[in-house]
Structure 1
Amino acid sequence: MRGITILIAEDEENLAQLLDRIFERNGYKTYVVNNGETALNIVKTQHIDIVITDIRMPGLDGISLLKEIKACDPYIEVLVMTAFANLDTAIDAIRMGARDYIRKPFDIDEVLEAVEKAALLVGHHSEYDVHKLKSDEILVANSPSMKSLKKLIEKVASSTATVNIYGETGVGKELVAKAIHELSDRREHPFITVNCSALPETLLESELFGYEKGAFTGAFARKLGRFELANGGTIFLDEIGDISPVIQLKLLRVIQQKEFERLGGTKTLPLDLRVITATNKDLKALVKEKKFREDLYYRLNVIPIEVAPLRERKEDIQELLNTFIRIASKNNKTPIKKLSDEALEALLNYPWPGNVRELENIVERIIVISEEPIIELSDLPEYIRTGIDNGKTNSLDVHKDEVEERIIRNAILESQGNMTRAAEKLGISRRSLYRKIHKYGIDDNRMV
């Protein structure tokens, strides 16, 4: 798959070389190391999309490496390799953030399937980095709508009812789901997220329900699904409006009967978990159009929660700015900067069509580019200074991702295709830039 970079951490030389040949033959760029310390150094200095690590390695083992990777860059997909005897450890690794596990001895097709599944998820992550901040730091509640939202979160957290979160892209729907989980009795159990729009129907089905050995071509061993891994905790299904009728029916059964079957299995397994979903679509309209099951809609919509766009809660902007300035300054190892009155006024008056995610990206860019301790109006992008962007940005009907895509394209052009300089202009890492390039389908022929 073009553009995907894989890091292999495996101390068995023959196995590492085999994996290297397999992935290179299938169009992936690879790095191969024999210990966790070297793997972590590469993650910190190079653009890596997927890490495949053995659990048992001398020095920094696979579990410790997983923790370090997720602390460094939570968007990297991690696959762990394990012998059958260590299967429980592999399942624990998934609950700690690993995408999947590969059981030794493995079949080549099984490995490729796991990698292809992870590659599909590159660039389809949460609305913004919920791993950087605690929910309370980002769910700022100075505006009436956010104050009401926080009270509602506290009320519903103790219940077991399904929750459906509505809101535009970038408003923080996943953070709301995580806050509900953190305040619930399930907080000590897994919080598992699934982006339903990132995978095609067949892969999403196996991702959710798991499968038995022989369930289909390539099912070489039993694989646990996300429902099973979330048992006892909470599963968050993002972009629920995109699931197919087949998945809708199966999800309805999970919610109604609290049980499921793995693909190819005959045993019905009980489930004890809370289902939280989110969408930026109008599910009621999809029901009328016969694109979404009415019975599932009412099951999911027991407690609807709407997160207001940032333009409707401007009282929250200044505190969010302060939070993001503090975090961006820490990440970039620069002194904390202050906003001039003129810069603050421009940021408060901008309509933020990309919501909190756009705000975070702009702050990161400003922190890197601004050389003075005070952020002046001249340090802001022109479309924020003027309040317009060729007449498009302040049109609320424009898809919110267009703003970010235009900023990225302009930075790449201004840097003449040099990705390091473009990332510096944007105030993000090269890894983040490459993910956004993949997300928006930006032509990478100019990359150097």
Structure 2
Amino acid sequence: MTAPADILLVDDDADLLRLMTMRLTAAGYQVQAVASAEAALAHLAVKLPSLVITDVRLPGLDGLALFDELRASHPSLPVILLTAHGSIPDAVDATTRGAHAYLTKPYDAKELLARIQQALRVNAPGPAPFDGDGDWRREIISRSPRMAEVLAEARLVAATDASVLISGDSGTGKELLARALHRASPRAGKPFIAVNCGAIPEALLESELFGHVKGAFTGAQGHRQGLIPAAHGGTVFLDEIGDMPLALQVKLLRVLQERVVRPVGSNDAVAVDVRVLSATHRDLELAMSEGQFRPDLYYRLNVVRLALPALGERREDIALLAQHFLAALAARHHKRVKGFAPDALEALVTAPWPGNVRQLYNVVEQVCVLATAPLVPLAQVQRALQMPSAEVLNYQQAKQRFERDYLNRLLKLTSGHVAEAARLADRNRTEFYRLMQKHGLDPQLFRDDPQSALSDFGDSKRPGESGT
């Protein structure tokens, strides 16, 4: 059950303070009432509330000065101002500088409760306190009950040596969870090595994982230790395991079963002691049914499964993450931006996030870099949210991706027959081979019968091709 939100009331009118306390307590909130800004600051030094409601006109330090103090020290703490008609211009100015809202006296009780609910929905004063030795999950910023369930399971399994498969959409933070599992495990003092199986060309992946000896293949000028042996005693994280070629899946399964690695080109096996964590955004059950992923490897990897929710399923974390990212990025880019305007934060919380936390980070970085005021305005957030995707490629990256996808489609269409694929592409065979080598593509992987590879070295020239 979620604990009730803490509200700090600041007003020198004792009767109004008593009435508001009664109404908010009846609405289910925990209320602390004080009669001056000085008393409010003293209270804040001991405990940070979820929300501050303050009168603008106070004896001594007034409510606007209190708001400025709060904005400087706690930029994400929502503040609602209560104002008489004479101080409305000041209150309006404060809302442009980040006050969540202002209400005129005598205030409407229903409107006040609606404003409080809105402020609490889109604001969060800080990360949830860690439980005991919570440093293990320090990179995972969350208050979400969904994430709390995942982290509780992760904390339990971390103490074991069981293989863990982390599933979730791209950008949900699978590697962060893997690092947290490693930090919470008995292997924390040993290496953590992450390998993105989808980012390494297939021709190089075996050598990267297992290592190679001198002369194992063209260009192997010396011995190289693989990433799995390099993680000896620690943890290896195989990201996007669903993209691993079938031939390599067999060799990985042997490593998991026998706890030995055989470098490429070597006759000697090397003993390894590693814990394997893996992650994927693919549906591995579907991949198995289509013959693209080995069931025996799947069951080896999927001893325990942790499923990360999409950002849209943990919206209570969006404001918290946005403020956390903004603070870190402002320091990195030497910007004096302190937070988001209330309507800007509302736009972030209600936006769709197909790219999940990674997309949120990119949006926050964009608004931080372009910020010209202490608070990010709504218009700037709206411009950033109009980006077509979380991933914006430059021209060269887009060209590389198109080339690889195009070659893949042609080789699939022709079942790996290079001469036919080159003909369809209107390129000579030599150039087509050069393009395949550039992108690490092996035509034999696209064939039902590997022996048919010999046909490409026979008499399958294009009409009119000289062969020189």
Question: Same fold by TM-score, threshold 0.5 exceeded?
Answer: yes
Change (3 A) 1:261 1:271: same
For residues 186 and 310 of structure 2, what CA distance do their matches in structure 1 show? 29
Letter of the 1:167 partner, please give it.
Answer: G
Confirm whether residue 356 of structure 1 aligns to residue 357 of structure 2.
yes
For residues 195 and 438 of structure 1, what CA distance do their matches in structure 2 show? 21
> Which residue of the partner structure matches residue 214 of structure 2?
213
For residues 287 and 163 of structure 2, what CA distance do their matches in structure 1 show? 19
Letter of the 2:344 partner, please give it.
Answer: A
Kindly state the Cα deviation for residue 335 of structure 1 after the two structures are TM-superposed.
2.1
Kindly state the Cα deviation for residue 168 of structure 1 after the two structures are TM-superposed.
0.8
Indicate the SS of the match to 1:311: helix
2:240, 2:278 within 8 Å by CA — same for their partners in 1? yes
> Which residue of the partner structure matches residue 183 of structure 1?
184
Matches within 5 A, 1:14-413: 136-382=137-383, 384=385, 403-405=389-391, 408=392
Kindly state the Cα deviation for residue 156 of structure 1 after the two structures are TM-superposed.
1.1
Kindly state the Cα deviation for residue 204 of structure 1 after the two structures are TM-superposed.
0.2
Kindly state the Cα deviation for residue 442 of structure 1 after the two structures are TM-superposed.
8.3
Kindly state the Cα deviation for residue 437 of structure 1 after the two structures are TM-superposed.
5.4
Change (3 A) 1:278 1:142: same
For residues 147 and 220 of structure 1, what CA distance do their matches in structure 2 show? 49
Letter of the 1:256 partner, please give it.
Answer: Q
Letter of the 1:249 partner, please give it.
Answer: V
Structure 2 unaligned blocks of 5 or more: 1-134, 402-468
For residues 440 and 168 of structure 1, what CA distance do their matches in structure 2 show? 22
1:138, 1:320 within 8 Å by CA — same for their partners in 2? no
For residues 437 and 145 of structure 1, what CA distance do their matches in structure 2 show? 39
Q: Which moved more, 1:315-324 or 1:209-218?
A: 209-218
Kindly state the Cα deviation for residue 254 of structure 1 after the two structures are TM-superposed.
0.8
Change (3 A) 1:440 1:186: farther
Change (3 A) 1:382 1:332: closer
Kindly state the Cα deviation for residue 341 of structure 1 after the two structures are TM-superposed.
1.4
Kindly state the Cα deviation for residue 381 of structure 1 after the two structures are TM-superposed.
3.0
1:167, 1:307 within 8 Å by CA — same for their partners in 2? yes
2:344, 2:378 within 8 Å by CA — same for their partners in 1? yes
Kindly state the Cα deviation for residue 214 of structure 1 after the two structures are TM-superposed.
2.1
For residues 321 and 182 of structure 1, what CA distance do their matches in structure 2 show? 25
Change (3 A) 1:173 1:315: same
For residues 335 and 370 of structure 1, what CA distance do their matches in structure 2 show? 8
* 1:353-409 Cα deviation digits (max 9, x unpaired): 11111111111111121211122111213474xxxx5xxx8xxxxxxxx5134xx47
> Which residue of the partner structure matches residue 72 of structure 1?
none
**TM-score (normalizing by structure 1):** 0.57
Change (3 A) 1:315 1:321: same
1:140, 1:146 within 8 Å by CA — same for their partners in 2? no
For residues 158 and 305 of structure 2, what CA distance do their matches in structure 1 show? 13
1:139, 1:146 within 8 Å by CA — same for their partners in 2? no
For residues 357 and 294 of structure 1, what CA distance do their matches in structure 2 show? 31
Kindly state the Cα deviation for residue 255 of structure 1 after the two structures are TM-superposed.
0.8
For residues 267 and 138 of structure 1, what CA distance do their matches in structure 2 show? 40
Q: Give me the CA root mean square deviation.
A: 2.0
Letter of the 1:241 partner, please give it.
Answer: G
Change (3 A) 1:143 1:441: farther
Kindly state the Cα deviation for residue 197 of structure 1 after the two structures are TM-superposed.
0.9
Letter of the 1:404 partner, please give it.
Answer: A
* 1:279-303 Cα deviation digits (max 9, x unpaired): 1100011111111101001111111
Kindly state the Cα deviation for residue 339 of structure 1 after the two structures are TM-superposed.
1.4
For residues 357 and 375 of structure 1, what CA distance do their matches in structure 2 show? 19
Change (3 A) 1:140 1:150: same
2:146, 2:309 within 8 Å by CA — same for their partners in 1? yes
**TM-score (normalizing by structure 2):** 0.55
Letter of the 1:370 partner, please give it.
Answer: A
Matched pairs, number = 267
For residues 186 and 439 of structure 1, what CA distance do their matches in structure 2 show? 37
Letter of the 2:152 partner, please give it.
Answer: K
Change (3 A) 1:167 1:234: same
For residues 338 and 354 of structure 1, what CA distance do their matches in structure 2 show? 22
For residues 437 and 229 of structure 1, what CA distance do their matches in structure 2 show? 36
For residues 337 and 376 of structure 2, what CA distance do their matches in structure 1 show? 10
Kindly state the Cα deviation for residue 439 of structure 1 after the two structures are TM-superposed.
4.3
> Which residue of the partner structure matches residue 12 of structure 1?
none
Kindly state the Cα deviation for residue 140 of structure 1 after the two structures are TM-superposed.
2.2
Kindly state the Cα deviation for residue 438 of structure 1 after the two structures are TM-superposed.
4.9
Change (3 A) 1:311 1:138: farther
Structure 1 unaligned blocks of 5 or more: 1-133, 394-401, 410-435, 444-448
1:340, 1:377 within 8 Å by CA — same for their partners in 2? yes
Letter of the 2:143 partner, please give it.
Answer: N
1:258, 1:270 within 8 Å by CA — same for their partners in 2? yes
Letter of the 1:282 partner, please give it.
Answer: D
* 1:118-143 Cα deviation digits (max 9, x unpaired): xxxxxxxxxxxxxxxx8734412311
Letter of the 1:151 partner, please give it.
Answer: A
Indicate the SS of the match to 2:390: helix
For residues 170 and 382 of structure 1, what CA distance do their matches in structure 2 show? 21
For residues 442 and 342 of structure 1, what CA distance do their matches in structure 2 show? 40
For residues 297 and 178 of structure 2, what CA distance do their matches in structure 1 show? 19
Aligned identity (percent) is 41
Change (3 A) 1:216 1:383: closer
* 1:218-261 Cα deviation digits (max 9, x unpaired): 22221111111111111111110011111100110111111121
